[in-house]
Amino acid sequence: MSLPDVQALRSDHDYKLTRVGVTGVEKPVQIDRPGASQTHALHACFDLFVDLPAGQRGIHMSRNLEAIGEVLDETVREPRKGLEWVVEDTARELLERHDYASVAEVEAESTFFVEQRTPSGAETMEPYELVAKATADREGDLRRSIGVVVTGMTACPCAMETTQHILEDEQDATIENAPSVTHNQRNETLFMIDVREGNDVDAEDMVTLVEASMSAPTFELLKRGDEARLVLQAHESPRFVEDVVREVLARAKKAYDHLPDDTVITVKSEAQESIHKHNAFAERVTTLGDLRDGDLQTDN
Amino acid sequence: MSLPDVQALRSDHDYKLTRVGVTGVEKPVQIDRPGASQTHALHACFDLFVDLPAGQRGIHMSRNLEAIGEVLDETVREPRKGLEWVVEDTARELLERHDYASVAEVEAESTFFVEQRTPSGAETMEPYELVAKATADREGDLRRSIGVVVTGMTACPCAMETTQHILEDEQDATIENAPSVTHNQRNETLFMIDVREGNDVDAEDMVTLVEASMSAPTFELLKRGDEARLVLQAHESPRFVEDVVREVLARAKKAYDHLPDDTVITVKSEAQESIHKHNAFAERVTTLGDLRDGDLQTDN
Amino acid sequence: MSLPDVQALRSDHDYKLTRVGVTGVEKPVQIDRPGASQTHALHACFDLFVDLPAGQRGIHMSRNLEAIGEVLDETVREPRKGLEWVVEDTARELLERHDYASVAEVEAESTFFVEQRTPSGAETMEPYELVAKATADREGDLRRSIGVVVTGMTACPCAMETTQHILEDEQDATIENAPSVTHNQRNETLFMIDVREGNDVDAEDMVTLVEASMSAPTFELLKRGDEARLVLQAHESPRFVEDVVREVLARAKKAYDHLPDDTVITVKSEAQESIHKHNAFAERVTTLGDLRDGDLQTDN
Amino acid sequence: MSLPDVQALRSDHDYKLTRVGVTGVEKPVQIDRPGASQTHALHACFDLFVDLPAGQRGIHMSRNLEAIGEVLDETVREPRKGLEWVVEDTARELLERHDYASVAEVEAESTFFVEQRTPSGAETMEPYELVAKATADREGDLRRSIGVVVTGMTACPCAMETTQHILEDEQDATIENAPSVTHNQRNETLFMIDVREGNDVDAEDMVTLVEASMSAPTFELLKRGDEARLVLQAHESPRFVEDVVREVLARAKKAYDHLPDDTVITVKSEAQESIHKHNAFAERVTTLGDLRDGDLQTDN
């Protein structure tokens, strides 16, 4: 008895599907970043999709696992230089294995570690979230995104001004050459860049850019002097989530002036407010072209 | 000393922001669904955003809390008939309170309970996730979305055919008038409808529609006969996640034939595969108009 | 054909089991707190367990759903005065329905809302997590626990001292009659009391006690003056997580002086550090008796 | 000006604390398992605690980060053979650095990958959760725990019997030499062993033991024949969560007959029921000694 290809049958309802695939596929991935002293081993979680035309009942889901498996096997011989290259190659593989599909989409998330230095120069290994995404279509169009989520610190500019006012007016306090107290909190900021083939950005550079856009970076290991200096730094650069997003945009415009106008930039900043039970949030999705035109002038 | 309005100052960088606001605001909400025997008390979690023009440093975030507070205070006197009406009114309030904003967006999530009957007719209270969203702009355009996430059961059509083949060929088994064994699993399906003002859909109807689109619904309380009947029902309607999405689309096209062509429909189905550590997933985002045109013919 | 009771069969392996049951059962619960102006509707999530002796293969899990269903049905006629009474009654029901079990255990979690006042006296509805637990055994012994998780704010005493030192010594700053800057952050503190039958504690009182033990409470809606006063309050009471736990213990010892010595007290405080990516944590599990004896003297 | 040691001051309230430390510390860890072809790179998340006597205000939390940092630095020169050895060494370091503490406790979680073979012999890389824990005290007592969480499949024995009855009696169906249909689902089982110094267990062996205790293991990549064989295997070994826990206990008793009586064994099995929205759960916490005595006889 020969088995029918159940997935290849006609569906009861002739509707195409936007995305069909598998989610939550966990894999170890070897990365060989140029300039890095060693191969990085990431633990990444993948989602892999293709579209499905109206005339066919289902996709052959095991092919998604074969596609990611083959790309990862290749990386043993020839490590990719970033997670974004792994998802790009996997998207291409998906299109080859699903001949009925017109688009393939792959997303991956991981944590990566960067050796940083505290204000006093001590070495500390800091974790950041890494996001990579690629879409490939039959016409050969390919987009690749790389993003980082950075945990840092923001100090509120508004409360700082109000507390100074209250202290001086009502409590007869004197504060000279020093910042006033305010609420500060943990902030998580996503910075994502979406490039076409041939262009390249480095995740570690993106981390540096985001950390400079907050009131202060955070570190896992801080001795007492470092801790105080970080607190002072944060109070000298008090920032709303709105400020953080705009700082990232301004720095991205400068840092990525070699990338084309259609490069998409996404920035989201969320502060786990210390004086509220809810979070504060700001977001901008735009292109380098729009940032270059200047928002204020063009009202883009 | 008079305090400057820090948020109203010019920003260092003249970029507008897409969305600024607060996330994770938890509130008790009174709902009075027409036809329901009693007022429902929901515990909902809100996200509230407006856009911010380039010329201004920040939004006044406490106004978002005032907006949701005022709408919820009103519901004490005059209960809204669904969570989607609460978010719509709140979006309108946000625009009034942030005169610099051109768009307001409110999202809310909650769990609601529906009294269902098991195959044998026993009553059981079942939980479903509820999602509501509204956007309002200065031109008076208003869109309101209502969605449900339903937990049900899918049985795999492909493995059922293969096991029957193996059993009959290799194990000399006889299976007549009965389904063969297959893997089945917990499935979560989101069904969301996005309507313009003046149109209305009922969340409980949407739950009924989604449950009928799976291999079988699930219940919290099942005595032994009910459990077996549900298992048999699932094996008589084996369905891929692709099938579930298309069933929902077909039923939505029929059930909502009074809604306009530009009504947006989103369906996502995710199966927590019992034979894999990852999930299977299918999705379609479309409009009622496209579904009416017929996907296969128009290749929409 | 008569069906065997599969669960009542002997197991292949004669080992008793510590806990067998169901987890993640979501239910709406009506609560009628004495003194409260209205019935509270909670959305609670239950775990329900019994032990299983070595001689029997399985428990009849549907009886756990019947037990919680029956108790909740009764609350329609006669509302319980707290979630802890619901779990206590359910634990008793479980023992009745599983005659082979010697112990029953029920846990529930929910969010509840309390109307609070900000420093300036504005009303605001604040969410808190509620935890309830009960164990009942065949000998009639019954323990009932009630806990709250409160989100508040802590300001670091150590960094405050170091920044003042740096500012005055290195930056020639003058700070008089005012606190120096420090890092502050969102803190979540659990306070749980475990009582025997006949004793009673009120969840809202527990919230008040925990909020007074932090550097400052947090509020969902704060106008500008309130925000600044809260920031100042936090800086006037800088506290480590260790301080928060001990404050709760000291206040609990005083507030619950009518409860017996064997009352178990659990306090856990976790600060989402604004200068680190990790959290700071402190915990004490003890009895009122040990607190009364005095820790330092007895080295308990 | 010399800074006071704020943490070393007396507290306002003289209560000792059970556990004080840091949670959620993310670190890359190099592991060199004996017999493994390569060094494993884990991404682990650590919690690190010591106790705090009544006479002291706070612990010096940065020492916890120094302790884990030093142990991980050492692993670059001399890789540990498992995550449990890393936490053990870190617990010892904590005691050295906190001279006021009498107990140190370290927990870590990670995902690790094992190359497995599907029924047809195809290679597939499967993810498992890894848990390690160590406690060390001033008397030199040291306990070390290693645990795995395995995702597999269970098929319900009870529904299988009932559906066969219904099919044969009511639907005139014939089923010979074949299993009847039932509900099956994703199952997550934790197996943890707690040993004293000098004893050793292997995480990969523990995975093998747990997978053999379920109705069937799960795999990321399954071609059609493999999928069907796995489904048949599950239906030939239908198991309750109670059965899974007892199978693990029976196999553990046999596999670890060289370990002492006071070895603590924890087994928890949770099934994400496909016919319910809640989960089924069974647990046993015991010692190898109790398992050896025989539960039924001794009623332990």
Please compute the mean of the pLDDT values over residues C140-167 and round it to a whole number.
95
The residue among A101, A99, A102, A75 whose CA lies nearest residue A87 is A75
Q: C234: distance to nearest CA of chain A, Å?
A: 9
Q: Are D40 and D112 within 8 A, CB to CB?
A: yes
Q: Are C270 and C188 within 8 A, CB to CB?
A: yes
d(CA C115, CA C136): 34
Rg (CA), chain B: 24
Q: What pLDDT, on the 0 to 100 scale, is given for residue D158? A: 94
- Which one of B13, B21, B282 has the shortest CB-CB distance to A250? B13
Q: Do C26 and B221 touch (CB under 8 A)?
A: no
Q: C249: distance to nearest CA of chain B, Å?
A: 29
The residue among B28, B26, B33, B29 whose CA lies nearest residue B203 is B33
Q: What pLDDT, on the 0 to 100 scale, is given for residue C299? A: 45
- Which one of C65, C113, C223 has the shortest CB-CB distance to B220? C65
Does the pLDDT value for residue B87 go beyond 60? yes
Q: Which of B164, B274, B276, B278 to mutate to test the interface with D (most CBs of D within 10 A)?
A: B274
The residue among D62, D49, D52 whose CA lies nearest residue D16 is D52
Q: Do B166 and D228 touch (CB under 8 A)?
A: yes
d(CA A2, CA B165): 9
Q: Could you give the percent of chain D with pLDDT greater than 70?
A: 95
Q: Do C62 and B127 touch (CB under 8 A)?
A: no
- Domain at D1-107, CATH from 3.40.50.720, 3.10.270.10, 3.30.2350.10, 3.50.30.50: 3.10.270.10
Q: Report the largest interatomic distance among the alpha carbons of chain D, rounded to a whole angstrom.
A: 93
Domain with CATH 3.10.270.10 in chain D: 1-107, 141-300
Domain with CATH 3.10.270.10 in chain C: 1-108, 141-300
Least confident of A104-113, C79-88, D41-50: C79-88
- Which one of B11, B162, B249 has the shortest CB-CB distance to A15? B249
Does the pLDDT value for residue A297 go beyond 60? no
Contacts of A127 in chain C (CB under 8 A): 277
Q: What pLDDT, on the 0 to 100 scale, is given for residue C191? A: 98
Q: Do A178 and C183 touch (CB under 8 A)?
A: no
DSSP-assigned letters across all residues of A36-73: -SS-EEEEEEEEEEEEE-TT-S---THHHHHHHHHHHH
Q: How many residues does chain D have?
A: 300
Please list, residue by residue across B87-111, b when 16 or more beta carbons sit within 10 angstroms of its beta carbon and e when fewer do.
bbbbbbbbbebbeebebbbbbbbbb
The residue among A186, A76, A173, A94 whose CA lies nearest residue A134 is A94
Q: Between A171 and B282, name the one with better pLDDT.
A: B282
DSSP bridge pairs for B105: B49, B135
Q: Are B113 and C29 within 8 A, CB to CB?
A: no
Q: Are B134 and B105 within 8 A, CB to CB?
A: yes
User: CA–CA distance from A116 to each of A153, A211, B58 (Å)?
Assistant: 16, 11, 31
Task: Give tens-digit pLDDT for B229-285.
Answer: 999 999 999 999 999 999 999 999 999 999 999 999 999 999 999 999 999 999 999
Task: Give tens-digit pLDDT for A22-69.
Answer: 999 999 998 887 766 556 789 999 999 999 999 899 999 999 999 999
Task: Give tens-digit pLDDT for A72-96.
Answer: 999 878 888 899 999 999 999 999 9
Does the pLDDT value for residue D227 go beyond 50? yes
Residues 6 or more apart from D85 whose CB is under 8 A from it?
Answer: D144
Where are any strands of DSSP class E within chain B? 17-31, 40-52, 103-117, 123-137, 142-155, 174-176, 184-196, 216-217, 264-271, 279-287
Q: Could you give the percent of chain B with pLDDT greater than 90?
A: 78
- Domain at B141-300, CATH from 3.10.270.10, 2.40.10.10, 3.20.20.140, 1.20.1260.10: 3.10.270.10
**Interface residue A6 vs chain D (CB under 8 A):** no
Q: Which chains touch C (3 or more CB pairs under 8 A)?
A: A, B, D
d(CA B194, CA B188): 20
**Interface residue B66 vs chain C (CB under 8 A):** yes
Q: How many residues does chain A have?
A: 300
Please compute the mean of the pLDDT values over residues B170-184 and round it to a whole number.
91
Among B residues 261-280, those touching chain D with beta carbons less than 8 Å apart? 272-278
Looking at domain C1-108, its CATH architecture is Roll (3.10)
DSSP bridge pairs for D234: none
Q: Between A199 and B277, name the one with better pLDDT.
A: B277
Give the confidence band of D71 by pLDDT, cuts at 50, 70, 90.
Answer: very high
d(CA A47, CA B278): 9
Tell me the helix, strand and coil percentages in chain A, rounded to 5.
30, 35, 30
**Interface residue B113 vs chain C (CB under 8 A):** yes
**Interface residue D60 vs chain C (CB under 8 A):** no
Task: Give tens-digit pLDDT for B98-129.
Answer: 999 999 999 999 999 999 999 999 999 999 99
The four Cα atoms A76, A81, A85, A87 give a dihedral, to 10 degrees, of 60
Q: For chains B and C, what is the number of CB pairs under 8 angstroms?
A: 48
Does the pLDDT value for residue B83 go beyond 80? yes
Q: What pLDDT, on the 0 to 100 scale, is given for residue A37? A: 56
Compute the half-sphere exposure of residue C244: CA atoms within 13 Å on the CB side of its CA.
36
Tokens representing residue D16 in the block = 């000792």
The residue among A151, C32, C106, C96 whose CA lies nearest residue D24 is A151
d(CA C155, CA C177): 18
Residue ranges in C40-192 assigned as alpha helix (H): 62-77, 83-97, 157-170
d(CA B144, CA B287): 14
Q: Are B132 and B154 within 8 A, CB to CB?
A: no
In Å, how far from its chain's centre is CA B113?
Answer: 14
The residue among C58, C55, C50, C60 whose CA lies nearest residue C14 is C55
